[in-house]
Structure 1
Amino acid sequence: MERHVTLGEFIIENQKDFPYAKGELSALLSSIKLAGKLVNQQINKAGLAEILGKIGKQNIQGENQAKLDLIANDIFIDTFRNRGEVCGLGSEELEDFIVFDDDIHREAKYIVLIDPLDGSSNIDVDITVGTIFSIYRRISKEGSPVTSEDFLQPGRNQVAAGYIIYGTSTILVYTSGNGVNGFTFDPGIGSFFLSHPNIKFPKKGNTYSINEGNYIHFPKGIKKYIKWVQELDENENRPFTSRYTGSLVADFHRNMLLGGIYLYPEGTTSPHGKLRLLYESNPMAFLTEQAGGKATDGSKRILDITPKELHQRVPLICGNREMVEKAEKFLKEG
């Protein structure tokens, strides 16, 4: 009889993947799992509970907040506050980071950066959304309050990162630097089970994900790349297929499983790119590289960028290595 491995069992069996941890990081991933279940529950009953729609306020990014944005944000904050593995948290929905400075959390080794509900503009029309998370070891001395230095670390310092995708099924995907694995939630049992072991980008891909409505603003190299992927070439299986939902988690998940490239370049209506380095680009870049792909801002590796502020935006091109390198070549040639 085939053994079905739960997320909890998998974490325990792979404890060696966490070189500095003595159980704290495993417990932290369990906290994320718990919060994800609670967010999933809220999403599934959103229409019935009248928690769809906007709240009439904007977040620090200047974007209209959905009711579920704040609900998801509060769920993750409360979950981390009620458990002792985290000494600080940064959220895309908050202007500044949160310091957990009490006896329970002061000695904790880890900080978390989170996008509680990626793609929330899609909630009202029932399109897939997700949660993105990123985990670092603190730099500041244990026992003291965390500082901005703890959060402004380059992405290569991540000890774990991942996302939860809330779609036709709910899947938690994460890496701790030893490959990428996905776990599907069984609502009948209430557990996540290993369903996508050792995920790798296919060698070849033929899907590109970009908001072509911004075409007029794109750099010349990106425009040329789009024309190239749309050309007929039977030897290279072109034209490629365009798939873009406006939900980074959904587009990334599909491209990683089936083969593709995601692009949000500079020169759009967001001059420096739209995606946040800390909350979106770094965790997705970590996953990309662990799955055999490549993640760049168009010229340099995303994980080597040293952030200057909590809500810094960067261009992001990630996915199948061959496809990303082709896009980089077009950008370089201009």
Structure 2
Amino acid sequence: MMMSDGVAVADVFDALAAAAPEIRAGFAGRAGETDDHNATGDRQLHADIHADEILRDRVGALDAVGEYASEEAEHVRDVGAGPLSVSVDPLDGSSNLSANNPTGTILGVYDAPLPASGRDLVAAAYVLYGPLTTMVTATADGVTRYTIASDGRRTDESVSLPDDPTVYGFGGRVPDWTVDFTDYARAIKDELKLRYSGAMVADVNQVLTYGGVFAYPGLRDRPRGKLRTQFEAIPMAYIVEAAGGSSTNGAHSVLDADPDDLHSRTPIYLGNDALIDRAERALD
């Protein structure tokens, strides 16, 4: 798809920004579990379903969007005749709601049918529901952070990964880490400050703000890790790389991933170039 003026992608970002206050307002009273599970077996919260419904209504109604895929649904939904496909993790870290900790929304925009390669991604964004509601967007032109308020979206700043890394956040239980990753993690923790929340959006946002590395590695009993390639890994890798950083699955950029299943998983490492290079050497 030719998008010289970026209008179609801008419309998707506008729809996400418009949905964010409504999603956040819906947290109250929706932190409890339902009797249902999503496509990969996780217990759904009422807030997960509510966020998905809002995003499907707003993003799926856009003329440019033909496919809408959610982490909460098993299959891709045909929503129109537009050339763009959108993947959404409606509420990343939703289990944090019961403790009033940060959550987020992750969105990827592809110009190919889903499942699609990271090289088919043309834009990505996330919303962080923290003390403020912020949205970070990435296109070929770079990365921008916005503050979302009741009176709309305003530009906050252009984002680039700081040269001097400060923080790290690693997922998974330490006893489940592989020997190679454990050795890497020990070296990193002696150099950087731990920042880990249990919501990928919040942890990657820390890395974008302060520099550093985020990882959810392959585990001893789960070599492909926990995070979904299409819904979480590829969009967040795109954002970090657009901000001047790197990504890897342990062997190559996450953007080289070409998932053959909508809900496949992948190890992921995101952050400053040197830290990602070290990860690849440690895991080789």
Q: Fold conserved (TM > 0.5)?
A: yes
Aligned counterpart, 1:152 = 115
Higher Rg? 1
Q: How does 1:1-334 map to 2 (within 5 A)?
A: 19-20=3-4, 23-43=7-27, 46=28, 50-100=29-79, 105-106=80-81, 108-138=82-112, 150-187=113-150, 190-197=151-158, 199-211=159-171, 214-231=173-190, 238=191, 240-332=192-284
Q: Secondary structure at the match of 2:90?
A: strand
Q: Distance in 2 between matches of 1:133 and 1:230?
A: 30
- Contact 2:213–2:271 (8 Å) recurs in 1: yes
**Shift in alpha-carbon separation, 1:23–1:255, aligned structure 2, 3 A:** closer
Change (3 A) 1:56 1:328: same
> Does the CA-based 8 Å contact 1:288-1:318 persist in structure 2?
yes
8 A contact 1:204–1:322 mirrored in 2: no
How far 1:137 moved relative to its partner? Answer: 1.6
Q: Given residue 275 of structure 1, which amino acid in structure 2 is its aligned partner? A: L
Moved more, 56-65 or 18-27: 18-27
Q: What SS does structure 1 have at the residue aligned with 2:26?
A: helix
What's the Cα RMSD here? 1.6
Q: Given the two structures, how large is their TM-score scaled by the length of structure 2?
A: 0.94
Q: Is the 8 A contact 1:161 1:287 kept in 2?
A: yes
- Once the two structures are TM-superposed, the CA of residue 82 in structure 1 deviates from its matched residue by 3.4
**1:40 Cα deviation after fit:** 2.2
Q: Deviations over 1:138-164 (max 9, x none)?
A: 4xxxxxxxxxxx112211221110101
Contact 2:17 / 2:148 at 8 angstroms: preserved in 1? no
The structure-2 alpha-carbon separation of the partners of 1:330 and 1:83, relative to structure 1 and needing over 3 Å to count, comes to closer
- Point out the structure with the larger strand share: 2
Unaligned stretches of 5+ residues in structure 1: 1-17, 139-149, 232-237
Q: Distance in 1 between matches of 2:87 and 2:25?
A: 22
When the two structures are superposed, what TM-score results if normalisation uses the length of structure 1?
Answer: 0.81
Distance across 2 between alignment mates of 1:284 and 1:68: 22
C-alpha distance in structure 2 between counterparts of 1:314 and 1:294, whole Å: 16
Give the total of aligned pairs. 283
- Segments of 5+ residues of structure 2 without an aligned counterpart are none
CA distance in 1, matches of 2:56, 2:229: 20
Change (3 A) 1:157 1:82: closer
Q: Structure 1 residue 99: deviation in Å? A: 0.8
8 Å Cα contact 1:214-1:268 kept in structure 2: no
Overall identity of the aligned pairs, in %: 29
Query: Hey, what's the Cα distance between the residues in 1 that align with 2:249 and 2:60?
Result: 34
In structure 2, how many angstroms separate the alpha carbons of the residues matched to 1:42 and 1:225? 40
**Partner amino acid for 1:265?**
P
Change (3 A) 1:258 1:162: same
Once the 2 structures are TM-superposed, how far is the Cα of residue 20 of structure 1 from its aligned partner?
4.5
